[in-house]
Amino acid sequence: MIERTKMDLWVGVFVAAGFAGLLFLSMKVGNMSGFSVTNGYTLHAYFDNVGGLKVRAPVKSAGVVVGRVSEIKFDNERYEADVVMKIDGRFKFPKDTSASILTSGLLGEQYIGLDAGGDDQMLKNGDKFQITQSAVVLEKLISQFMYNKASESDSNKK
């Protein structure tokens, strides 16, 4: 039978270690410490093709996360994808900023990249991007490349 004070100490160590583990998981493994949009504004962007973009994908400008994709839906009038994103209120972007769907690495996850323009007016809540560039679909890229190669060799023969 273990002494009571010693037992209390061990239980204390156990509970403290357990909470330390939870904290580690939340802070170091998860992204609770990382970016989260609390008081931001929403922007819309229309794309021909969103590729593999997912909800909660990061929105980056100059490589820094400034927001997250909150919703992706199909617009039945424009026949385009309507991507709703929540941008942190600290960041403002000019009206003529362009949004493009990019891929981190060759096979990495897809995110939205914003390239700031030079307009005086800033984008407000509910605005939409004027210039967008859709996701690069790998199959299209490859077939385009093959087609170019083929036509190149054709012209070389002549």
Smallest separation (angstroms) from another protein to the CB of 36: 8
Q: How far apart are CA 84 and CA 44, in angstroms?
A: 5
Task: Indicate which single residue of 7, 64, 137, 150 sits in contact with another protein (rule: CB under 8 A).
Answer: 7
Smallest separation (angstroms) from another protein to the CB of 72: 12
| C-beta closer to another protein: residue 1 or 77 | 1
| Interface characters, 41-60, with another protein (x: CB under 8 A) | ---------------x-x--
Task: Indicate which single residue of 25, 137, 142, 150 sits in contact with another protein (rule: CB under 8 A).
Answer: 25
Q: How far apart are CA 28 and CA 32, in angstroms?
A: 8
CA nearest neighbour of 57 among 114, 132, 111: 111
Binding of another protein by 10 (CB under 8 A)? yes
| C-beta closer to another protein: residue 18 or 126 | 18
Q: Which stretch binds another protein (CB under 8 A): 14-22, 88-96, 131-139, 146-154?
A: 14-22
CA nearest neighbour of 57 among 97, 109, 100: 109
Alpha-carbon distance values, 59 to 9, 62, 134 (Å): 47, 10, 14
Alpha-carbon torsion, ordered 129, 112, 134, 139, to 10 deg: 180
DSSP 32: S
Bridge-based pairing state of the strands 58-61 and 80-88:
unpaired
Sites of contact with another protein (CB under 8 A)? 1-2, 7-8, 10-11, 13-15, 17-22, 24-26, 28-32, 34, 56, 58, 105-109
